[in-house]
Copies of this chain bind each other. A is one copy, B any other.
Amino acid sequence: MAQRNKAPDKRDRILQAAVRVFAQKGFYVARVADVAREAGVADGTIYLYFESKEALLQGLFEESMDRILDMMRELGGEGLPPAERLLQFFERYAQFTEEEPELAEVLTVQLRESGKLMKQIATKRFGEFLHLLIGLIEDGQRTGAFRQDLSARTVARAMFGALDELSLSWVMSDARWRLKDSCRELLDVFLRGMSASAEAARLEGLTPGPVSDTSARTVRAERPQSAQGPTPAKTEH
């Protein structure tokens, strides 16, 4: 039966071992004995903390996602503009991946496989995660910073997919470029793409260094269709 109180360090050691092993071999290929060896405990010990191999993955998933969710929830104060908060979101996501690539890989890959394996488990926390993004976008839409002809859900999902893919490709590649930079670049594209007024759509001030935005202003007039009517009809998920 899963214990959460006693010898929490052992439980953690098992979880961390599981992260490493699952990242390296994949959940199905990894053996419980592999995790036990990596954790430095006996096979049976794992079953003192987790009911099954699957429960181990579930525990790993839940606790990791909780940490990520916590990290994401304390995004810079509510007062900050949505673009700024999105930047923080992206950067934290990148930072998390860079700091714990193995965990990121497990989450990234298993989140897919989970569609079959533990839909119910993942759904809840992933839903929350997604809703954080959706909320940020909707905030921007409310304040008028972001186009309102977009489905926040669609954009959020796409953002997550893009972010996740960059993250995965970073994790998979041995050569290590700056994931954070790529994420900023990605956000820049998204922000421009979502910008209600063309000139606003910049990473103004967000990117390090002096960036001028001068050409931005001239653009504004346009997006008639956004004015005239939602070019891309909001889509539902």
Mark A residues whose CB is within 8 Å of B: 24-26, 28-29, 80-81, 83-84, 86-87, 105, 108-109, 112-113, 115-117, 143, 145, 150-151, 154-155, 157-166, 168-170, 172-173, 175, 177-178, 181-182, 184-195, 197-216, 218-225, 228-229, 231-237
Contacts and interface: CB of A to CB of B under 8 A. Distances in A.
18 contacts: A154-B166, A158-B162, A158-B163, A160-B165, A161-B168, A173-B237, A178-B235, A181-B233, A189-B190, A190-B193, A192-B202, A195-B201, A197-B219, A198-B199, A198-B216, A199-B218, A203-B231, A203-B232
A14 B237 CA distance: 32
A204 B197 CA distance: 13
A166 B162 CA distance: 10
A183 to B, nearest CB: 9
Interface of A is mostly: helix
Contacts of A221: 199, 215
A81 B67 CA distance: 45
Nearest to A229: B211
A45 to B, nearest CB: 16
A112 B108 contact: yes
A80 B214 CA distance: 11
